Amino acid sequence: MYLFGPPLLLLLGALCAGTRGAQEGSPHSYRYFYTGVSEPGAGLPDFMAVGYFDEQPILHYDSKRRRAEPRAEWVKGAVDPDFWDRNTQNLQGSQAQFQVNLATLRQRYNQSQTGSHTLQLMYGCELRPDGSTGGFRQHGYDGRDFINYDANTRTWVAPVPQAEITTRKWNADTADLQYYRSYLEGECIEWLRKYLAYGAESLRAREPQVLVSDRPTPDGLTRLSCRAHGFYPRDIAVVWLRNGVAMSGETQSWGIVPSGDGTYQTRATIEIDPSSDARYQCCVEHESLAQDLRVAWEPKSNVLLIVGAVLGALVVLAAVAAGIGLYIRRRGTGYKPTSTGDRASENSSNENVKA
């Protein structure tokens, strides 16, 4: 089992079935991720810690800068002035402890003292849609679970034999067990609610902007692309419809990535026969939308035909208007061709005046 679970995928279940029903409140989370590396690459830190509220980074620390720093402007108002100094000291201590623990784990796994290995820690809490809460604390080594805190039994459990020594030691420390229980069930939830209040505007749901496009493929098909961007929170469902029916199995999703401004973007594509007369729509479901959003794809030939017809009509109207105007001028004042000589004389006279 991987420490942080399998990668998140787009949700393509019962998608785009019509108007969305009433939803419960959105879930929220407050999490920290620590990573220590025994032999980092050139220029890379051997320790890094990042704090998140929901999907927004709020704190960053690494062994190069050795300073806890805010990653969101609104979070500065949610903490006292000494918050960053306290966390800097704590994280400097964690940085040193991670290197000690990495050396210990290499011995537990009978590994040589050379080579790169990774120790990870994830902890935090969540507020679920039904109002219930939960806490978690997990340690991983080289990408897999090492030891986890069981919130139900309030004890440490060892998924692998190499963690049994640590499990016995930590479960014997009743003071530490009480501390983790108090933090995960109390203090962490208090921080979560505090950040939720201060970050309300930054965490406001934002509707996705959707753009569909097409391009030919080397094998004679047409690839339809649906890009959704500018949305928050992260979870979204995007699928192509053919004649109103979801093409979940044929839709290729390209993952959800940050846009750099606190919002997210994603893309979904399908390949179709360009000679097909089926109707294709990109369908999007997101928390910010009262109902699913559908954007139709129009073949270029149809679009060009419509645009050409509109432009042709405008040209005809312009020509008729010009003809009528010319006829009126001829009838009212008589037609007089422009004299090149008069224009030259006038320009010459004007230039003399300016001089």
CATH code for position 87? 3.30.500.10
Same domain, 156 and 243: no
Give the tokens for residue 242: 């053919």
Number of domains observed in the structure of the chain: 2
CATH number at residue 277: 2.60.40.10
Indicate if the pLDDT at residue 209 is higher than 90. yes
**Domain identity same for 105 and 151:** yes
**% pLDDT > 90, the chain:** 64
pLDDT score of 11 more than 80: no
Per residue in 318-338, pLDDT (tens digit) is 665 666 555 555 555 432 332
**Residue 112 is part of which domain span?**
28-198
Q: pLDDT tens digits for 124-177?
A: 999 998 999 999 999 999 999 999 999 999 999 999 999 999 999 999 999 999
Residues 6 or more apart from 171 whose CB is under 8 A from it? 155, 156, 177
- In this structure, the answer to whether residues 244 and 107 fall within a common structural domain is no
Phi first, then psi: what are they for 168, rounded to 5°? Answer: -65, -40
Distance CA(269)–CA(223), nearest Å, equals 7
Structural domain contains residue 327: no
Residue 204 lies in a domain: no
Those residues whose C-beta lies under 8 Å from the C-beta of residue 15, and which sit 6 or more positions away, are: 237, 239, 246, 248, 283, 285, 292
Q: Do both 171 and 253 map to the same domain?
A: no
Q: In this predicted model, what pLDDT tens digit does every residue of 262-292 receive, in sequence order?
A: 789 999 999 999 999 999 999 999 999 999 9
Same domain for 141 and 172, yes or no, is: yes
Whether residues 192 and 217 share a domain: the answer is no
Provide Rg for the chain, Cα atoms.
Answer: 32
Are residue 192 and residue 277 in the same domain, yes or no? no
pLDDT tier, 15 (very low <50, low <70, confident <90, very high otherwise): low
pTM metric for this prediction: 0.66
Q: Are 29 and 125 in contact (CB under 8 A)?
A: yes
Domain end marker among 198, 221, 249: 198
Domain-terminating residue out of 198, 223, 239: 198
Residue 337 lies in a domain: no
Domain end position, chosen among 255, 273, 299: 299
- Give the DSSP letter of residue 71: S
